[in-house]
Amino acid sequence: MILRAGQDGSPEVFMVKRPGAGDFPDLHVFPGGKLDADDWQPELCPDITDAVASQRLGISAGGVRYWVAVARECFEECGVLLARNVDHSITLSQEARQAVLAARPALLAGEVEWSALLQQFGLTIAADRIVYFSHWLTPPSVPRRFDTRFFLAALPEGQAAMADTDETISGQWIAPGRALERYRSGQWRMIDPTLRSLEVLADFPSVEQALGDVAGEQHVKSWTPALGRQGMQPFR
């Protein structure tokens, strides 16, 4: 989930609409996707070790690949680059950003790997800007199961989000409370993990507090039994 400050300073989140085919047809969701084999690249994440990443996720090993995947999916689906240059700056020059964005179509077409693209431009993933949010897993009784983790990151200064039209229909910035209103009015379709995440985000007065509280694991809410109706349940 990518956040930015709205006009009143409260958080806005970037959401995309999926097309009518695929795993989540016609749904409004946060940018994201599946782990790729190329995501196992610990050297691309100097800000976090695999041991620390795995401990945060509650797994034995391989946690750092989630941070690599988050950065990749953000770039693929909305053109947001959560990376640092050789000077360790996340604020890239306009020329540098445009050069990396020009390589985005090749990444989407599978002509270049994410790791190779980063190495080409001398970039590493800004893992310290990516905060683990939650873990969702469908129960064993559901025929088709999903194991999904959500992360938070702030939109880097000078960047803009642009939805990938191959995997999404549209994308927009919206206040979490407003997104929930669109769901309740029937304008938007969303599944429970998205709704619960929006409810949590709607409570924060600023992006900084959202990231700080989530990093400190102070964002946990009581999850209702209604989750079972959607076939999803939260895991921490």
pLDDT tens column, 65-91? 999 999 999 999 999 999 998 888 888
pLDDT grade, residue 60 (50/70/90)?
A: very high
Contacts of residue 154, Cβ cutoff 8 Å, sequence gap at least 6: 2, 3, 4, 129, 207, 211
- Architecture of the domain delimited by 2-235: Alpha-Beta Complex (3.90)
pLDDT at position 136: 86
Residue 160: per-residue pLDDT = 92
Average pLDDT on 183-202 reads 93
Average pLDDT of span 148-173: 88
pLDDT of residue 228: 47
Please report which residue ranges of the chain form alpha helices under DSSP H: 50-57, 64-78, 94-102, 104-108, 114-120, 176-184, 192-201, 207-215, 227-230
Distance from C-alpha of 62 to C-alpha of 57, rounded to nearest angstrom: 10
* Average pLDDT of the residues in 106-130: 94
SS3 category, 147 = strand
pLDDT of residue 220: 53
Six token digits for residue 152: 């938070």
Q: Is the pLDDT of residue 113 over 50?
A: yes
- pLDDT bin (cut points 50, 70, 90) of residue 21 is low
Q: Which of 11-20, 91-100, 204-213, 226-235 shows the lowest mean pLDDT across its residues? A: 226-235
Distance CA 26, CA 32 (A): 15
**Per-residue pLDDT, 94:** 86
Q: What percent of the chain has pLDDT over 70?
A: 89
| CA torsion, ordered 69, 159, 134, 193, to nearest 10 deg | -100
pLDDT level of residue 3 (50, 70, 90 thresholds): very high
* Predicted confidence (pLDDT) per residue in 198-225, tens digit: 999 999 999 999 999 998 876 654 444 4
Instruction: Look up residue 93 and give its two tokens.
Output: 């020059």
Give the C-alpha separation, 75 to 70, whole Å: 9
**For position 224, what pLDDT does the model report?**
45
pLDDT at residue 229, as a whole number: 46
Q: Does residue 23 surpass a pLDDT of 80?
A: no
Give CA–CA dist 72/114, Å, rounded: 7
pLDDT above 90 covers what percent of the chain? 66
Q: pTM of this prediction?
A: 0.88
Cβ neighbors of 64 (< 8 A, separation 6 or more) are 40, 42, 45, 48, 49, 50, 53, 54, 127
